[in-house]
A and B are shown apart, each in its own frame.
Chain A
Amino acid sequence: MMAAAGASGRRILACDDELQILRALKLVLRSAGYEVRTAATMEEALDALALWPVDAAIVDLLLPDGNGVELCRRVREWSAMPIIVLSAIGEEEQKVRALQAGADDYITKPFGPQELVARLEAVLRRASPDPGESVLRAAGLEVDLAAHAVRRDGEELHLTPTEFELLSVLVRNRGRLMTHRALLSEVWGHEYADEVTVLRGQIANLRRKIEPPKGSRKHYIRTEPGIGYRFDPK
C-alpha cells in the first residue's frame, strides 16, 4: 500500500510528548520504509538531531518543555531540513507561527497514514529536486515548461505568462504547501512578497481556466487559509 522505494533508508525524527502517537508514527513511517528516531521533549529532539543527522523532522506543536514554533526556530539556526508540524484543530495561530518560524508544512490531527507519508514525500522532494523535468504531469493536467503550454486532458488551455509561471511553480512543488510569500517572491519577486490580494486574484483566474468547467470541487489547487496554496490534485 505504501511501498515507497524512494523512502528506503531515509531518516526521520518524530517528536511528540504523547507516547501512543509516537508509537503510531513510528509504525506508519517504518512500514513506509523510513528509519525513525523518536523524542518526547524539545531538548531530546535537539540532542537527537545533533547526534543523528536526519532527512526530515515531524514535530508536535505542543511539547512539555517548549513548543514546535521554538523548535523550528532553533533547528533553522543551523539546518534547512524539512520540518512538518503536527497541529490540532484550534491551534491555527500556533500553526501559522510555526510556518513563519520555518516549518515547511503542517498536518492536522487526527491524520491518516497515507496523508502523512504523502506530505513527507512532498517536503523531501523539495530537499532533492527532480533534475530538469520539462513536462510536468498531474491528474490529467500537463504543463510543458519548455513550450509554455498547458493541456488538460489533451485540450490546450490559454494562460497569461503570469498564470503560467504561477502554475509551473505550484506544479513543480506539487503536494507541498506554498506560502503566499513564497509564491509571490518566486513569481513576482521579493519586493511583491506581501501583495496577497494580487496573488489571490491571479489564483482565482488560474482556477477558472484550469479547473473543470462544471462540477464544484477544485481538483488541482487547494487553499490553505491564511497561509498559502497547495497543488494537490485529487
Chain B
Amino acid sequence: MRNGVVFILLRGRRPPLVAGLAVTFVLVSICTALVYPLKQLTTVSSLGVVYLLGVVVISTFWGLWLGVLMSVLSAAAFNFFHLPPVGRFTIADSRNWVALGAFLVVALASSSVSELARARAAEAVRRRAEADLTAETAQLLLERAGVEDALASIGRRLAAAFELPWALVALGETSGDSRREALALSAGEARVGTLVVPAGLQGSVVSRLSERVVPALAALLQVALERERLVAEAVQTESLRRSDAVKTAVLRAVSHDLRSPVTAMITAGAAVRAPGVTPHERDELGGLVVEEGTRLSRLIDDLLDLSKLDAHAAVPRLAECSVEEVIDAALAAQPADSMVEVRVDPDLPPVRADFAQVERALANLLENATRYSEGKLVVVRARSVGGWVVIRVVDRGPGIPAVDQARIFEPFYRAPGRTPNVISGSGLGLAIAKGFIETNGGRIRVESVPGQGSSFVVALPAIVEPEP
C-alpha cells in the first residue's frame, strides 16, 4: 500500500493545481457535513479533528501551500457552520477560540509534516531508482565481454530512469556543445569517460546526475576497464605461456631431431673421402646423405608450417577444389609401397579451400596412418554429409587410448609406450594437419578403438551449388 502511494507520488508528480483546489473544496464540504451527525455524540469543539484528515490528504498530494489553504478554509467552515453562534464568523465561547486556534496550528503542522514526508518518499524512490541503475550498470559492465558493448545499454537505461530523450556514455574525453552537455567521468586523477546528455536540462536533473550518477558510473567504468585490461593480459600471458611450451618443445626437437640427421650427413661426407672406400660403399654413403638430408628438409618444412600456423600467417589461398584431386595429390606424395585404398562418392561437391594446405593435411594423416598400420590397408573415404565433405582416413593400427586422443594434435606429442622405431615422423604432422584444416574452415577429430584402429575425420564446408 505504501509502495503504491509512494509510486503515485513519484511517478505522477503533483496532480494539477485546479484539481487540488476542487478537491480542497469538496473535502471541506464533506468534513463539514460529517461533523453534523458526530455533534450528537461529543462536544463540537473536539470535532475539528475531522478536518485534519482532509488537510493531510491535500498536503500529501498537492504540497504545503494547498495544505495551508485547506487548513484556513477548514477553520473558517468549522467556525461558520459548527462553532456557536452557528451561521456567523463570530465565536461566543472563548474556549472555542482556543479550539479553533489549536486546530489551525495542528493543521498547519500536519501540512508541513506531510509535505516533508512526501519529499522524503520521493527522494527515497529516486535513491532506490539510482541504486537500481547503479546495480544494473555494474551488472552490464562486468558481465558483458566488452565494456564498449555495455555502454550503449547503460546509456539507454540511464535515459529511461531520468526520463531524458537520450543519454550517452563514451570512453575517454568528449566535449559538449550547444546541443549536448558533457559530464566528465573521472576516477581519482584519471579521466575514464564522459556522460553526454541533452543540453538545457533542469538544474535539479543535472545536479542529480552529477552528484548521484557520475561518481558511481565513473568508479564502475574504471573497474570495468581495469578488468578488461586484466583479462586481455591474462589471455596474452596464457598464449605466451602456451607458445613458450611450443618453443620448449621445438628446442627439444631441434636438439635431437635436427641434430641427428646433420651428424649423420657430416659423418657420411667425411667417410666418403676416406682412403680405400669401395664404389659400393660410396654409393651407400651417398644414399645416406640424401636420405638424412631429405629427413632434415621435411622437418624444416614442418617447423616452418607450424610456426606460420602458430602466428596465424598461413593465410589460405581459397579456390574451388575437387576433393578427389586433393586426395590424389596427397596420395602421390606417399611412398610407392604404401597400401591405401580410396573410395570417393562420385557426386562429391567441390570445396572452397587452399589446395596445397589441405593436401599437406591429408598427406600428413595418410603418412600417420600408414606408419602405424604396419603394412595393413589404409582406407580413405570421402562422402558428402549435409553441406560438408567428410573425409575419413581409417587405419587398422594399434589405436589410440582415450587419454591420448585429446592430446594427439599437440605438437611433438607422442603417445607414451610406443616402440621408438615405429615413430620416425617429426611429431608435428597431426598438429600441422589440424592447423591447416581449421585455417580452411574445416574440422578435424579422431575416433579410435584401442586394438582395432583409428579413424581421422576431416570435414570441409562444401560448395553447395557448383559454378556452372
Contact = CB atoms under 8 A, between A and B. Distances in A.
A90 B322 CA distance: 21
Contact of B355 (A110, A203, A214, A225): A225
B294 A110 contact: yes
Interface in A193-219: 196-197, 200, 203-204, 214-218
Given A197-B320, A223-B325, A216 B359 contact: no
Secondary structure at the A interface, as helix, strand, loop or mixed, is loop
A197 B331 contact: no
A47 interface: no
Interface centre among B319, B328, B356 (most CB of A within 10 A): B328
B340 A226 contact: no
A112 to B, nearest CB: 8
A85 to B, nearest CB: 16
Contacts of B69: none
A112 B286 CA distance: 12
Contacts of A222: 328-329, 332
A193 to B, nearest CB: 15
Interface centre among B325, B328, B350 (most CB of A within 10 A): B325
Nearest to A221: B328
Contacts, number: 56
A92 B293 contact: no
A234 B325 contact: no
Interface string B298-326: 00010010001000000001011110111
A93 B355 CA distance: 12
Given A218-B328, A223-B329, A197 B355 contact: no
A89 interface: yes
Interface in B254-280: none
A223 B321 CA distance: 11
Given A92-B317, A197-B320, A200-B322, A225 B341 contact: no
A20 to B, nearest CB: 12
B320 A226 contact: no
Contacts of A89: 301, 304
Contacts of A203: 325
B319 A218 contact: no
Contacts of B329: 222-223, 225
B328 A223 contact: yes
Interface in A72-125: 89-90, 92-93, 110, 112
Nearest to A214: B341
Contact of B356 (A92, A112, A218): A92
B317 A93 contact: yes
A215 B322 CA distance: 19
Interface centre among A90, A93, A214, A216 (most CB of B within 10 A): A216
Interface in B311-369: 317, 319-322, 324-326, 328-329, 331-332, 336, 340-342, 350, 355-356, 359
A204 B324 contact: yes
Interface in B421-468: 466-468
Given A89-B301, A226-B356, A234-B336, A197 B466 contact: yes
Of all A-B residue pairs in the complex, the 6 with the closest CB atoms, nearest first, are: A225-B355, A223-B325, A216-B340, A216-B342, A218-B328, A89-B301
16 contacts: A90-B301, A90-B308, A92-B317, A92-B356, A93-B317, A203-B325, A216-B331, A217-B328, A217-B340, A222-B328, A223-B325, A225-B325, A225-B329, A225-B356, A225-B359, A226-B319
Interface of B: 290, 293-294, 297, 301, 304, 308, 317, 319-322, 324-326, 328-329, 331-332, 336, 340-342, 350, 355-356, 359, 380, 466-468
Interface of A: 89-90, 92-93, 110, 112, 196-197, 200, 203-204, 214-218, 222-223, 225-226, 234
